[in-house]
Copies of this chain bind each other. A is one copy, B any other.
Amino acid sequence: MSAADILDLGKIPSKVNPELQSERNCSSLTPYISEITAIVDGGRNNTEKRRQIERILFKDPLFRDCAIDSVYKPRDEMYARGVERSVRLFALKEEYNWTDEEFGIAVNVINHQYSLGLHNVMFIPALERLSTEQQKAKWLHLARNYQIIGTYAQTELGHGTNLQGLETIATYDATTEEFILNTPTVTSIKWWPGALGKSVNYAIILATLIIDGKKHGMHPFLTPLRSTKDHKPLPGVKVGDIGPKLTFNIVDNGYLILNNVRIPRENMLMKNAQVSREGHFTSRGPSKANYSAMILVRVTIVNWCSVILSNSSTITVRYSAVRRQSTLDSSSEKESKILDYQTQQYKVFPSLATAYALFFVSKTLKNRYLKTYAEIIKGNFKNLPEIHCQSAGMKAMSGEMTAELLEISRQACGGHGYLAASALGDAVASAKALVTVEGENTVLYLQVARYLMKRFAAAVSGERLSGSTEYLCMDPMKYTCPINSPEDCMNVSLLCQVYRFRAYRMISKAARMLQRDIEGGKKQHKAMNDNLVQLVRAARAHLLYCMVVDYKEGMNQLQISVPVSKALNNLLVFFTVFNIVKNAGDFLETESIGLPQMEWLKETEVKMLAEIRPDAVSLVDAFDIHDNTHGSVLGCYDGNVYERMLKSTQNEPLNQCDVHYSFHQHLKPFLQRNNTSKL
């Protein structure tokens, strides 16, 4: 196909690129792909359901280029498009009577490229959670029918992690039975809430309640911000967009300044605390239901990480199977596929393996959450700290891994991975957000570490532990490294013991360091701060152990055919070995393994690269991600990479005319200023 066919006629070859076809022909896993797809979707029915949603969405041009078109648009148009998509999506939800789960699938299919997500994801659930029955009756149907559109406003310009630090205030005025809301300082301005800037007309605002000059803690206030008629900001409300971010610019994250904004007493959401007409305050304390919502979001993020890595692996593996560069064998005429270079495999396969790992990990975590949640609603809070620690930690660990691995695999696509049309840069930026949102990672690691310190102290004092920290009761003197041959490095059960011992030693070391500092006269908080780095290391070690166990156990529960089992097991072994080698210092330092083991593990690691290689394309095909969902010119099913790259240039605004106006305005006068000669 010629360049002119592509540029002038917009053609793309209809055939699959032979480079990719040969991969599919040669992989013994190819006939079993649909089996893996069903696992990832959670059953063949779900696969069919997802594909049906894809068909519905992608017959609409509004959704067809969703993953990529925004990079060519100015912010203004991008946002307008996002609003249009939101409205269309809500209408489809009604038309097809999608469940919340199906709606979630639709959102994944369009790669979250719409503006008003917060309404369904935060506003409605918060209304449900925080309102009295009477309030629900008044507000919920309005929200569900999109007669009001809302968000949840907590974070402020100067305050994020530490809720106690929030400065927005709601002062009760008993004479009018109203609350008066104010953001009295620059640092108190609400900052970040999604859809706050231009879209919503209501927000649930977290503010400190003040009655008669006395503070009564933080409470939620349902506050109208814009007229439901003309959408103009209401008196006392200043609201706007906070400006562009690394990505998600389709969403209008906003700021909000409140200047004596009055709302009726009934607009305080009073499920957990009440203010009477006379200004009498009563409270049941914060609801445990609030915790469980936060935990669920974090559990969901672990799954989201898996989805992000599945997307990006699909792109990088396919591209690596198409791209040829230099030769491995100098006697060869043809350049080599970059996927055949060991170094390329070492950049691309960790993402692939981690995509599968986090799929199984998130599934196990979700089940554990549901079990604990069922206990909680029966009033049994025993396992709340455990699931809190698990969800916080897994969110942090998987967010960190995802951001890091994704960037490595983006780099593995060289210059072309630097193009917006590769969709990899945007994926990296999305992954990076996961490091910060819903609990900043370091803060979460330290929450896990504090939990571990408590559990360790309990173990030392003879308490019997259960759950993920059960192993802290172990007798470290009884440990001997279970890896006694290179073959043992393929045995994930043995490797789990190694992970466990490393975690134990890292945790006991942190506890020892803390104790030493306190016994040496440091105050508790000073001792804590002087050991934060080691505490984070201990938390990571614990979480990586949990992750490997959950991955292994998630896999064990599958009923699968032999070829699928073999291929997935290769990834499991690789993931397990890779993360030991990556953290080699810790494993050696804690004497969980010795030098010969480390050498065997490194050999196993590169051996597994070679094992995975023939099935790599099948393993990403199995994710069955629609081309429109990943939106990458490098990652399409047909592998026509170069043709799609060339075609993508048609979308670039600079290419809409041959000569850009800046030539006439700036360049021409300059070039010709001395031009006496004729060229």
Contact = CB atoms under 8 A, between A and B. Distances in A.
A659 B230 contact: yes
Contacts of A192: 415
Given A325-B161, A653-B74, A342 B530 contact: yes
B244 A71 contact: yes
Given A186-B643, A529-B328, A584-B584, A80 B242 contact: no
Interface string A604-622: 0110001000000000000
B255 A660 contact: no
A550 interface: no
A232 B246 CA distance: 36
A189 B3 contact: yes
A648 interface: yes
A163 to B, nearest CB: 10
A238 to B, nearest CB: 7
A242 B649 contact: yes
Interface stretch (A125-133, A140-148, A358-366): A140-148
A15 B666 CA distance: 39
A297 interface: no
A280 to B, nearest CB: 29
Contact of A584 (B147, B585, B645): B585
Most chain B CB inside 10 Å of its own CB: which residue of A146, A595, A651: A146
A137 interface: no
A485 interface: no
A80 B660 contact: yes
Contacts of A394: none
Given A598-B589, A658-B233, A3 B238 contact: yes
Interface string A648-677: 110111110011111101111011101101
B654 A252 contact: yes
A197 B418 CA distance: 17
Nearest to A598: B589
Contacts of A651: 243
Contacts of A660: 76, 79-80, 83, 198
Given A670-B146, A679-B142, A658 B232 contact: yes
A97 interface: no
A411 interface: yes
A525 interface: yes
B240 A533 contact: no
A155 interface: yes
Interface in A529-564: 529-534, 536
Please give the count of copies of this chain that the complex contains.
Answer: 2
A91 B670 contact: yes
Contact of A652 (B160, B244, B342): B244
Interface stretch (A46-54, A99-107, A371-379, A428-436): A428-436
Given A523-B329, A598-B589, A442 B343 contact: yes
A642 interface: yes
A276 interface: no
A165 B663 CA distance: 35
A252 B654 CA distance: 8
Given A72-B244, A84-B665, A238-B7, A674 B343 contact: no
Given A584-B589, A654-B76, A662 B84 contact: yes
A315 interface: no
A284 to B, nearest CB: 25
B671 A228 contact: yes
A169 interface: no
Interface stretch (A28-36, A206-214, A419-427, A471-479): A419-427
A177 interface: no
A425 B407 CA distance: 14
Interface string A1-30: 111101100000000000000000000000
Contact of A87 (B79, B242, B433, B667): B667
Contact of A231 (B186, B415, B610, B663): B663
Closest 9 CB pairs of A and B: A584-B585, A74-B74, A80-B662, A244-B420, A342-B532, A241-B654, A162-B326, A83-B662, A246-B425
6 contacts: A142-B679, A158-B324, A162-B335, A331-B525, A342-B533, A530-B610
Given A149-B667, A198-B663, 10 more contacts: A76-B660, A80-B660, A83-B662, A142-B679, A162-B325, A243-B649, A243-B652, A583-B585, A584-B585, A588-B589
